[in-house]
């Protein structure tokens, strides 16, 4: 008889504003680590001490499943060289960070930020946006996982694609339990971060819409508990999901009302929505702003009304032009 995997939560310090990250061990005949923590000395000491407390050495980890590529979740992959590394294919470009990808990454953000109306002076911040990539390992996946996949020794668990917070974000689901990475957090709403497109002539992904679809997918699965990447497990996912979707819709409608007063660029909106935060957290706040615009565009609430100095101008539908 195979041994039913037992779930252990480990809590690991990170150098990021988000605070500690939770990673998970599923210990059965096969030992699976879900996420690794960031690549810092403190995190590694914490991981090894907590593994030891449940009778494991790092060498005992047979396989790693990454919920997503962010450094707080995927930083220590190189410390588990012997373990098979699984991630979604769409996470792999950030795990390997080849020169050609990073060149494309910088080019994409430069052009994209111009379209959002960002003044030239701010384009230097693209370099700063790469800071969170520093505490990452440099190791691509050994095998890709996708919707519905099962993993060796993890009977009853399957992979659910939950894209949005990042491209390639996945969760693991089993009989009412879900390990959800950062797709649903109890204490904060998770950011739909803009990532570069997957091909030269491919449009960029629209993470806010993906994120909402992922929340609806989780609601349909209706797990009894979501083990999170940060904060307490979510014991009542359904009302939280409904609240998250409602709040996002309300925020989008607020953005629409701001567009009714004036045609504006995404960067102008971002400054209004995040007057003090935008300089410190440019990538995050622009992603958040763009998320609301993508949502409104997809629902026909606003439209693109042309270009001004290379920047897209947005206008609320049905609102007449001011003279
Ligand atoms: Zn995280």
175-182: average pLDDT: 96
Gap from CA of 313 to ligand 1 centroid (Å): 33
At residue 319, does pLDDT exceed 60? no
* CA 97 – CA 158 distance, rounded (Å): 28
208-237: average pLDDT: 97
Which of 40-49, 81-90, 186-195, 215-224 is least confident?
186-195
> How buried is 167 (Cβ within 10 angstroms: 0-12 exposed, 13-18 middle, 19+ buried)?
buried
Gap from CA of 74 to ligand 1 centroid (Å): 9
Gap from CA of 230 to ligand 1 centroid (Å): 6
**CATH numbers and ranges of domains, the chain:** 6-96+136-235 (3.60.15.10), 99-130+251-316 (no CATH)
121: left (phi over 0), alpha (psi -120 to 50) or beta: alpha
Report the percent of the chain where pLDDT is more than 90: 79
Gap from CA of 306 to ligand 1 centroid (Å): 37
Gap from CA of 72 to ligand 1 centroid (Å): 6
Query: What radius of gyration do the chain's Cα atoms show?
Result: 21
Gap from CA of 21 to ligand 1 centroid (Å): 6
> How buried is 322 (Cβ within 10 angstroms: 0-12 exposed, 13-18 middle, 19+ buried)?
exposed
Gap from CA of 213 to ligand 1 centroid (Å): 19
Gap from CA of 131 to ligand 1 centroid (Å): 15
Nearest to 219 by CA among 303, 160, 279, 146: 160
What is the per-residue pLDDT for 201?
A: 84
236-249: average pLDDT: 96
Gap from CA of 7 to ligand 1 centroid (Å): 19
Gap from CA of 164 to ligand 1 centroid (Å): 13
At residue 184, does pLDDT exceed 90? yes
What is the per-residue pLDDT for 320?
A: 52
Other Cβ atoms closer than 10 A to 160: 22
Start-to-end CA span in the chain (Å): 77
Gap from CA of 182 to ligand 1 centroid (Å): 5
> How buried is 18 (Cβ within 10 angstroms: 0-12 exposed, 13-18 middle, 19+ buried)?
middle
Which residues lie near ion ligand 1 (Cβ < 5 Å)? 72, 182, 229
Gap from CA of 23 to ligand 1 centroid (Å): 10
299-306: average pLDDT: 92
Q: Tens digit of pLDDT for each residue in 55-92?
A: 999 999 999 999 999 999 999 999 999 999 999 999 99
Grade residue 323 by pLDDT with cuts at 50, 70 and 90. very low
Gap from CA of 34 to ligand 1 centroid (Å): 12
Q: Tens digit of pLDDT for each residue in 121-147?
A: 888 877 877 887 888 888 999 999 999
At residue 317, does pLDDT exceed 80? no
Gap from CA of 320 to ligand 1 centroid (Å): 43
162-167: average pLDDT: 96
**Which residue has tokens 């009977």?**
155
Gap from CA of 151 to ligand 1 centroid (Å): 23
Q: Which residues contact 102 (CB under 8 A, 6 or more apart)?
A: none
Gap from CA of 20 to ligand 1 centroid (Å): 9
Q: Tens digit of pLDDT for each residue in 117-128?
A: 998 888 887 787
Grade residue 261 by pLDDT with cuts at 50, 70 and 90. low
Gap from CA of 133 to ligand 1 centroid (Å): 13
At residue 104, does pLDDT exceed 70? yes
Gap from CA of 280 to ligand 1 centroid (Å): 19
Gap from CA of 282 to ligand 1 centroid (Å): 18
């Amino acid at each position: 008889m195979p041994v039913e995997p037992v779930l252990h939560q480990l809590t690991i310090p990170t150098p990021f504003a988000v605070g500690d990250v939770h990673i998970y061990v599923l210990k059965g005949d096969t030992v699976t680590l879900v996420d690794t923590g960031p690549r810092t000395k403190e995190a590694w000491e914490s991981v090894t001490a907590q593994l030891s407390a449940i009778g494991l050495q790092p060498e005992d980890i047979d396989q790693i499943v990454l919920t997503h590529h962010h450094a707080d979740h995927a930083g220590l992959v190189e410390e588990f060289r012997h373990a098979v590394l699984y991630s979604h294919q769409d996470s792999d470009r950030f795990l390997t960070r080849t020169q050609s990808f990073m060149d494309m990454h910088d080019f994409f953000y430069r052009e994209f930020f111009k379209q959002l109306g960002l003044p030239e002076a701010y384009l230097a911040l693209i370099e700063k946006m790469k800071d969170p990539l520093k505490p990452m390992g440099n190791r691509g996946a050994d095998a890709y996982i996708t919707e519905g996949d099962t993993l060796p020794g993890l009977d009853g668990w399957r992979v659910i694609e939950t894209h949005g917070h990042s491209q390639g974000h996945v969760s693991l689901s089993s009989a009412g339990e879900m390990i959800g990475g950062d797709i649903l957090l109890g204490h904060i709403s998770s950011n739909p971060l803009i990532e570069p497109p997957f091909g030269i002539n491919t449009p960029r992904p629209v993470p806010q819409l993906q994120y909402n679809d992922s929340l609806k997918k989780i609601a349909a699965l209706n797990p009894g508990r979501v083990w999170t990447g940060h904060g307490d497990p979510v014991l009542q996912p359904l009302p939280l999901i409904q609240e998250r979707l409602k709040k996002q819709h309300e925020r989008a409608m607020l953005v629409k009302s701001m567009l009714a007063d004036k045609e504006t660029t995404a960067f102008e909106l971002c400054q209004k929505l995040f007057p003090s935060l935008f300089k410190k957290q440019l990538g995050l706040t622009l992603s958040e702003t763009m998320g609301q615009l993508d949502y409104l565009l997809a629902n026909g609430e606003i439209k693109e009304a042309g270009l001004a100095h290379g920047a897209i101008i947005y206008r609320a539908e049905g609102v007449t032009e001011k003279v």
